[in-house]
Each structure stands twice: as C-alpha cells, then as structure tokens.
Amino acid sequence: MKKRYFLEASAVLAGAALLSQFINPRSEIVTSSNTEFEVTKSEDEWRSILTPEQFRVLRKHGTERAFTSSLDKQYAEGTYLCAACDLPLFKSDTKFNSGTGWPSFFQPIEGAIATTVDRSLFMTRIEVHCRRCGGHLGHVFPDGPAPTGQRYCMNGVALKFIPA
C-alpha cells in the first residue's frame, strides 16, 4: 500500500512541476526585447554570441544544474563579468562557498546589477539581472554571510571569470 501512495505522490509532484511552466511561463520571457538596456541585440544576435546554455540562462531565464559550474569552486583573485556583455559584476573578495552548487557572492559591484520580482515556480524570489544587457544572472536571498546578509546565487554560465 505504501508503495502505491509513494508512486501517486511522485506522479502528482512531477505533474505539478511540469505544469508550473504553463502557469507562469518564465522561459518565454526574452530580455533582449527590453530597449531600456545599454546593450540590446536581437534574439538571433544573442544566439550567435552565446552558447546554447548561456542563451537559455541569460536570455530565457533558465537555471543551470547545481554543482556543474567550474566557477562554483573558483576562489582565485579576479573579477566576474557578465558572459553576455562583459560588465564587471562581482569581485572575488565577495565570493563565498554557500554549499548550494552555484557561485555565490555577498555583494555585487555597485551599480552592476538590477533586480525584479520573480513569481515563478509557486514562490516569490528576487531575480538578479545585468543592468547593462538585462541578462538573467540568478537570484538573491537573505541568508548570506556578514556584512550584507545577502546571498547572490548566480548561474556560472552567466558569468565570465577574469583573473587579477
């Protein structure tokens, strides 16, 4: 009996996860259509300069799988730039190991990012964008270390690391 309930519950959860993309289709949002950004390109132009995974994350608000980015464990001195427009976003001295599987920082470079409210996946989060091109970088959460208490949880494919 327990096995049947487990299978039914699993099917319901899987169905809810699949249906959530139709309830709030974030993947259909393309920030390149926003003309408020300094750097704007057509969808085809973005596709030509980004890898398919970068395009999915930066332009379609996707998320890379946890623990897949080489930048998660990168702790050398340097600067993290937007992979789409090369705007400096984070300094290495603000990076920390959050244990989440994504590169995490407690503070961006002043004026480098913009935020919006993300209500996808049945929750409300603060989404982080590159202020110059509008590329989706990740989310910010209020559970980071001092001095800010913030955790900027970024997609590694949305970033480019330049050693000091």
This prediction has a pTM of: 0.78
Ordered per-residue pLDDT tens for the chain, 164 residues: 566 555 565 555 555 544 444 444 443 333 333 458 999 999 999 999 999 999 999 999 999 999 999 999 999 999 999 999 999 999 999 999 999 999 999 999 999 999 999 887 788 889 999 999 999 999 999 999 999 999 999 999 999 999 99
- Asked if residues 36 and 132 have their Cβ atoms less than 8 Å apart, the reply is no
C-alpha–C-alpha distance, residues 2 and 21, integer Å: 30
C-alpha–C-alpha distance, residues 43 and 65, integer Å: 23
Q: Give catalytic residue positions.
A: 153
